[in-house]
Amino acid sequence: MTALLETRGLTIRFGGLCAVDCCDLSIQPGQLFGLIGPNGAGKTTVFNMLTGVYLPSEGTVHFGGKLVNGRNPVQVARMGMSRTFQNIRLFDELSVLENAMTGAHQHARINLFDSLLRTGRHFREEERQRDKAYRLLEFMGLEDRAGLPAKALPYGHRRRLEIARALATEPKLLCLDEPAAGMNTGEKADLAKLIRRIRDELKITVLLIEHDMKLVMGICEVVQVLEYGKTIARGTPAEIQSNPRVIEAYLGGG
Amino acid sequence: MPRTIALLMAGIVGCYGLNWFLSEFIEVVYVDYLNLIGLSIILAVGLNVVNGLTGQFSIGHAGFMAVGAFVGALASILFTYGEIAAGPLEHAGLAQFLLCLLFSGVAAGVLGVVVGAPALRLRGDYLAIATLGFGEITRILLTAQDSLGGPTGLKRIPKMPLLPGASGWDGGTSVFWIYLFVFVVIVLAVRLQRSTFGRALIAIRENELAAETMGVPSARMKVVAFVFGAFFAGIAGALYAHYQHSVRPDDFTAVRSIEVIVMLVLGGLGSVTGAVAGAVVVTLLPQLLRPIEEALGIDGLSMVVYALLLVTMMVFRPQGIFGQRELSLKLLRRLIPGRRKESP
Amino acid sequence: MAEVSLTTELLQYVANGIAKGSTYALMAVGYTLVYGVLQLINFAHAEVYMLGSYFAWFQAKWAGYLPDDKGARAETVPIGMVALFVAGAMAACALVGMLIERVAYRPLRGAGRLAPLITAIGVSLLLQYGGQVVFGTEPKLFPTFAETRVYDVGGVKFPNTNIYIVLTSVVLMLGLTLFVNKTRPGAAMRACSHDMRTARLMGVNVNATVSLTFAIGSALAAVAGVLVAMDQPAITPLMGVRIGLKAFVAAVVGGIGSIPGAALGGLLLGVSESVVSGLWKPVYSEAVAFVFLIVVLLVKPSGILGKSVREKV
């Protein structure tokens, strides 16, 4: 089986600091993959290298068999990788629906003059984006907020809108950066269900970065643990939970 | 598309009617104010796409206007007289005039690509300063062109083409032409804003990294925004040149660029309505204050009051007159008391 | 006139450029200090410079050093009096600078970046137009130094005015650098420019520090205003516009927020303008600043001596 996403020896240094050291990831299509680790372990930095925000100092990233290194975020998005952000980055002044529609922009098959002259293609494209965005808002349970400006949404809904927007890009791989941060137990349970449905119903592979062990252990099939930029364990949730190094990393010692 | 053609027809008829009405009933002085307002609106609405929608702060708008003015003026002079020479003013031919405007818009648009492309690497204030630099360089290079008249610029620029049946002040058709383009730029700006491209531009303004991650090609979209603004600045420049019959490089200093920014911010950055309102206020205010100045006999007082109002306005309402709202029927209905809808 | 070798000619332009650049540098420091603390392009700075020269002019008038209404060339002023006028203008401009900050910028702190910028433009216009109303639009003749001497070193000429300009600038810049790096208020300024919120939490009186920043920048602008007015003896209410824009460019080229950067940027600009103007065409010297600006911004947007900041994702 060929991996959807594969990294070899992924390394990045900021000045003298080695933020991520020789990280090997291998995510199979259809997997729900968890990347965990204590604060400052380099998880978000890995995301930034995967999605073209940072250029790795060493190592390679392959997505769907193609090299990602050197591509910018726009190109990576067009390859079929989408993400959310730990510190939510919505388009605050756009409405909830418009935020999701923006995700569908890259698939627009019209040019500027279609929109300026209001050709039939423009109206068809608007309808396509609106339908798609609305379906995804329904999926994420945000349909009755569609007309609100994004800045008016409560915190938990903002996280969901980010996911809806990422889904609108029609990704093969969805990367979620601490989607449960700041949520209460009930919201976390709902989110877990949603993530599983994204994989099961939309057939999208999911890479999940999380702080919350329970969430990750509950839904992921494979979990990899980072500490100080290094991989310290990889396996099924059961294996990880009984791994002494992981327990040490999380419960002290360091 | 059929609606676009109908809209354009309506615009032409409306502007023709306006031109006729003004030429019959209104004094030339006021028509002059109206024309200056129109030119300001074209500049402001165009720049709003760059500064307001896309959030790329450009202070080089006068440079684009300058290029448009000189290209349009030169082309028009050559079309009409065949050479740069002294003599009485004539009207430009209709086809030639439209061609000149097209040249102006395209020349300024090309400069927009030249400025926009490197500007992509800069953010915030640095971009602002760089565009200011581009604008000034454009102006200085024009000053150095002896073939374009150097610092004294071009003179004897033909009048705008005659229209059948239009008479009045000197057979003037400036209102028609200027307001036709006011109409065009507003329609196109609104359409741009309410399209997938407009959402992409706003997304870049709101969060550039997130926009890129969603596959919005921010580099290309920023150039699109720059070119849109530049194209209409070029047209405004050409209209200005034909309206004044002469242009000098110093008509397009950084002060002029800043004036357009002031219009945008005063009206409410990001709103087409705000851009229009700002253009009206900034152009008209000094003129309206002039009677006070004359009554008190203090030269230059109107500009002092204007500056004072600007500062006061910003201190007390920093988001501008309209904020990011647009004037729409919905807003009007809300503003008119007694006609409130029953449902909340 | 005897034949002058190209080297001598070039050296002459460089020498003139250093004097011109020193005044740019004095102005640029004001932009850089304010930008460092408030991230605001203080457009009104150029008008403070203009006011500086007018304040000195009024003092000279009251002291009886001005020509009569027939426009005869101004009387010369002894150097001690000049120092007095400069000090007076510095004090007055420092007050004006603080007043501008208090009235126009402080109410907008925290209201984003744009509103203060437009307000700054407004204040700048207000002072330009106000200056035209109060002082009149016609240029005013400025008195000159006691004796204008020209020293000749191997064919390169150094007017004593230029020497005064350079010396004054060097002394003031060194003094400012010492002040910022060695004193408590200087440390407060550095803290505010690094992170204003943290500085406040650490007990720095932010408002006082910002006022101080404006006072210092404005005082230096006043010096530049008087020095330039002495050198080219007519002053107008719009005299700040061009030099202000260029001094700001100098600050950006050198690296905004950095005092040595402002000095470097100012000198670089002054010298290259003078050389371009002399060896090529005066018109092009006006564009030099902006060409520099764009090249530097594209190569190193933070300026020659500036630090770049990475956005956290």
Q: Is pLDDT at C75 greater than 90 in this prediction?
A: no
A119-128 pLDDT tens trace: 999 999 999 9
| Predicted pLDDT of residue B342 | 39
Query: Cβ separation of B206 and A83 shorter than 8 Å?
Result: no
Nearest-CB residue to B4 (from A72, A90, A117)? A117
Best B140, B269, B290 member to test C by mutation, with max C CBs in 10 Å, is: B140
Fold of A5-90+155-251: Rossmann fold (3.40.50)
- The whole-number pLDDT of residue B328 equals 67
Q: What is the 3-state secondary structure (H, E, C) of B16-59?
A: HHHHHHHHHHCCHHHHHHHHHHHHHHHHHHHHHHHHHHCCCCCC
Give the pLDDT of residue C309. 56
| C2 pLDDT tier (thresholds 50, 70, 90) | low
Tokens of C155: 């064919």
Nearest C-alpha neighbor of C269 from the set B64, B133, B121: B133
Residues of B in contact with A81 (CB under 8 A): none
Q: A68 exposed, middle or buried (CB, 10 Å; 0-12, 13-18, 19+)?
A: buried
Cβ-Cβ contacts under 8 Å for B331 (sequence gap 6 or more): B325
Return the bridge partners of A63, or none: A5, A66
A148 touches C at CB < 8 Å: no
B214·A93 Cβ contact <8 A = no
pLDDT of residue C109: 85
Q: What pLDDT score was predicted for residue A7?
A: 92
Instruction: Say whether residue A74 is in contact with chain B using an 8 A CB cutoff.
Output: yes
At residue B166, the pLDDT reads 61
Say if A13 is an interface residue toward chain C (CB within 8 Å).
no
Write out pLDDT tens, residues A199-245: 999 999 999 998 788 889 899 999 999 888 888 889 999 898 888 88
Judged by CB atoms closer than 8 Å, whether chains meet at A94 and B202 is answered as yes
- pLDDT 10s digits, B104-138: 999 999 999 988 777 767 777 778 888 888 898 89
Across B275-284, B330-339, C214-223, least confident range: B330-339
pLDDT value for A224: 93
Banded model confidence at residue B337, pLDDT cuts 50, 70, 90 = low
pLDDT in tens, B92-113: 888 999 999 999 999 999 999 9
C115 and B130 within 8 Å at the Cβ level: the answer is: no
Report the candidate in A164, A169, A155, A172 with the shortest Cα–Cα distance to residue A194: A164
Q: Are B189 and B272 in contact, with CB atoms under 8 Å apart?
A: yes
Choose among B300, B51, B84, B283: nearest CA to B189. Answer: B51
Segment A131-136 mean pLDDT:
96
Q: Are B262 and B175 in contact (CB under 8 A)?
A: no
What 3-state DSSP class applies to B160? coil
When pLDDT is averaged across residues B321-336 and rounded to a whole number, the result is: 67
3-state secondary structure of B137: helix
| Alpha carbon distance B28, B34 (integer Å) | 10
Q: In this model, does residue B47 exceed pLDDT 70? A: yes
Per-residue pLDDT of C121-168, as tens digits, reads 889 999 999 999 899 888 888 877 666 788 888 778 888 888 888 999
In angstroms, the CA C12 to CA C274 distance is 9
Residues of chain A in contact with residue C313, where contact means CB-CB under 8 angstroms, are: 44, 48, 53-54, 85
Residue C67, pLDDT above cutoff 80: no
pLDDT at A90 over 90: yes
Higher-pLDDT residue of C4, A93: A93
User: Could you give the percent of chain A with pLDDT greater than 90?
Assistant: 70
**pLDDT, position B341:** 41
Selected residues 77-106 of chain A with any CB under 8 Å from a CB in chain B:
77-78, 82-83, 85, 89-94, 98, 101-106
Tokens of B148: 């374009």
Q: What pLDDT score was predicted for residue A152?
A: 93
Taking all residues of chain C, what is their mean pLDDT, rounded to a whole number?
86
Domain segments of chain A: what residues?
5-90+155-251, 92-152
pLDDT of residue A253: 46
Which tens digits make up the pLDDT trace of B258-284? 889 889 988 888 889 999 999 999 999
Give C206's Cβ-side CA count (13 Å radius). Answer: 15
What is the structure's pLDDT at C145? 64
Which chain C residue lies closest to A85 (C-alpha atoms)? C313
Residues within 8 A of A (CB atoms), B 192-251 only: 192, 195-200, 202-203, 205-207, 209-219, 224
Average pLDDT for B31-56: 94
Assess A169–C contact: CB distance below 8 Å, yes or no.
Answer: no
pLDDT band at C81 (very low <50, low <70, confident <90, very high): confident
Q: What is the pLDDT of residue A73?
A: 94
Helices within chain B (DSSP H only):
2-25, 28-48, 61-81, 94-119, 124-143, 174-193, 196-206, 208-213, 218-244, 254-267, 272-296, 301-316, 329-335
Residue C179 has pLDDT above 80, yes or no: yes
pLDDT of B339 higher than 50: no
- Report how far apart, in Å, the C-alpha atoms of B84 and of each of A41, B105, B244 are: 72, 22, 17
Q: What is the pLDDT of residue A157?
A: 92
pLDDT at B214: 95
Would the CB atoms of B318 and C108 count as touching at under 8 Å?
A: yes
Phi first, then psi: give them for residue B154, nearest 5 degrees: -100, 140
Fold of C6-299: ABC transporter involved in vitamin B12 uptake, BtuC (1.10.3470)
Yes or no, beta carbons of C245 and B134 under 8 Å apart:
no
pLDDT value at C266 more than 90: yes
Q: Which one has a higher pLDDT value, C294 or A191?
A: A191
Query: Does the pTM exceed 0.80?
Result: yes
pLDDT tier at B340 (50, 70, 90 boundaries)?
very low
C14 is written with which tokens? Answer: 């460089």
Classify burial at B55, counting beta carbons within 10 Å of its beta carbon; exposed 0-12, middle 13-18, buried 19 or more. Answer: buried
Among B61, B48, B57, which Cα is nearest to B253's? B61
Tell me which residue has tokens 């003037």: B172
Residue C313 has pLDDT above 70, yes or no: no
State CA C73 to chain mean position distance: 27
Q: Residue B344's pLDDT is what?
A: 35
Residue C72 has pLDDT above 70, yes or no: no
Question: CA of B28, closest CA in chain A: separation in Å?
Answer: 35
* Calpha distance B337→C134 (Å, rounded): 46
Name the token pair of C1.
Answer: 């006139």
* A:C CB pairs within 8 Å: 5
pLDDT digits over B61-81, tens only? 999 999 999 999 999 999 988
- Judging contacts by C-beta atoms under 8 Å, the chain B residues touching residue C286 are 136, 140, 143
Q: Choose the closest CB to B122 out of C113, C137, C301.
A: C301
C64 touches chain B (CB under 8 A): no
- Which runs of consecutive H residues, i.e. helices, occur in A104-236? 112-117, 120-139, 155-167, 185-202, 213-219
Interface chains of chain A (3 or more CB pairs under 8 Å): B, C
